[in-house]
Amino acid sequence: MSSQENDDLAPTCTAGFKVGEKKNIDELAQLDAADASLNKWKESLGLSHAQERFPDDPRTVVVQALVFQSEDRAIRIDVSTPKAIKNLQKNPITIKEGCEYTFKIEFVVQREMVSGLKFLQQVKRKRIPVDKMEEMCGSYGPKYESHERTFPSSKAPSGLLARGTYNVKSKFIDDDNTVYLEWMWSMDIKKDWE
């Protein structure tokens, strides 16, 4: 059995789809160099002048935060460093039962193009899966500014039996199955925000 079959957060594979050959920024810039419209498109992707936001960080995709947004509040979940993730694992976020919410992910792409970024998330309560999300984020060229992707809204469970702690496993991955970040965190569903 492959490790992907054992993984709760294995991305869905489309039958017959094959990921194209990976090319670095210089190779992409040289492709069809005489085509003015293609060069303009490449310029819009930032292939010719991409600055590194975090030059000392070797990661191609730097996930900065996952933001929980509801009508009543926004909770920014810092996942930019191992220390922040460790802190997050010790301190669950509190969510009011029955509230409508969305998640937004903030990330930076540097050095190379990434294709087919996906955000995967599985929520478990007492080790039983209760929700799973797989959202395509798209393909991105290197850019100094942060990218943001907001996901469709959901509704928190409600009622006495729904209150409690939920364990969440999140993953940011691309078409080449490169995992840029995978982390565990928890949320407490309560009657109110406090």
Query: Whole-angstrom Cα distance, residue 44 to residue 39?
Result: 9
Helix H or strand E segment including 107: strand 100-109
Query: Whole-angstrom Cα distance, residue 168 to residue 86?
Result: 14
Q: How far apart are the first and last CA of the chain?
A: 44
Per residue of the chain (194 residues), give pLDDT as tens. Answer: 344 444 677 766 666 656 566 666 666 666 667 777 877 776 666 665 567 889 999 999 999 999 999 998 999 999 999 999 999 989 999 999 999 999 999 999 998 888 899 999 999 999 999 999 999 999 888 888 999 999 999 999 999 999 999 999 999 999 889 999 999 999 999 999 87
Query: Whole-angstrom Cα distance, residue 85 to residue 166?
Result: 17
